Structure 1
């Protein structure tokens, strides 16, 4: 049997706490705040606190064969066309991964996808593509795998998080 992200679905509170526990265990500095449920970036942006962070959109894809999975992270105020993304990623035909695949590899449900889902990918199967502009952003904002809260972290702290998570990642010009 292949490794999976989680054997049973976790509650949103428990998913959030797992993110905080991981960040704390690795000495990664962050702040966070709660807000009403925000299952889309458009809704989440309504709750921004003028915190100076760039809020990130995260999309989960699979390749045509279904044997490779990708998390794509970029500015929440931007849009991506899948066909354009296919050209930029050079991974063949892409489609959105199913809810079952999202649960299996990231331990997440739709509406709460974030780069923090990588902590649940114990096999480090999911490859992360980050928009190259993210290198210029001083601060990021993500859901902590629960769309009722936002975590803020500085660029260097996010890079430390990626190293601790262990998944492959790369910066690419996405739009």
Structure 2
């Protein structure tokens, strides 16, 4: 059973990580979420759940405005050939979220370490990073360094790479 947002908040609290969360109507796209600008400061994320031809999975987190070359990203993230978007079933199985709610916080559900996490170096220049807390009905603000501490606590490595153009 995937973790709930409440489980996530308890986990973050247990790590001594302070976050702020704002509830809102469901947001499915970057365009939807841009309506909240001004209410939630910091860098806002766009998340790509990708799969290569050898069934390796990648969660790539970039700034919402970032442009990503999907035909070339495999060179950057270390994929075995070109990548495609992962299907909803492995997304739920590994990260415990549905399309539209993809988030770095989903790593809490990847206890087997099946997903490689890549975060764009440009996004890491933001003091605050905003992501869905396992649901697209809220946005959680976390300090960039605390996000990295969370990722490591889940047993993942945060690969900070130049992903965006």
Asked whether the two chains share a fold, i.e. TM above 0.5, the reply is yes
Contact 1:130–1:172 under 8 Å retained in 2: yes
The corresponding residue for 2:43 is 54
Distance 2:108 2:4 in 1: 10
* Unmatched runs of 5 consecutive residues or more in structure 2: none
Distance 2:124 2:30 in 1: 20
Contact 1:124–1:168 under 8 Å retained in 2: no
The corresponding residue for 1:73 is 61
4+ residue runs over 3 A deviation:
none
Contact 1:137–1:155 under 8 Å retained in 2: yes
Higher helix fraction (1 or 2): 1
* Unmatched runs of 5 consecutive residues or more in structure 1: 1-5
1:87 aligned to 2:75? yes
Which one of the candidate residues 124, 133, 139 is aligned to 1:135?
Answer: 124
Could you state the TM-score of these two structures normalised by the residue count of structure 2?
Answer: 0.92
1:152 aligned to 2:136? no
Distance 2:34 2:5 in 1: 19
Could you state the TM-score of these two structures normalised by the residue count of structure 1?
Answer: 0.87
Distance 2:91 2:54 in 1: 16
Superposed CA RMSD: 1.5
Per-residue deviation at 1:50? Answer: 4.2
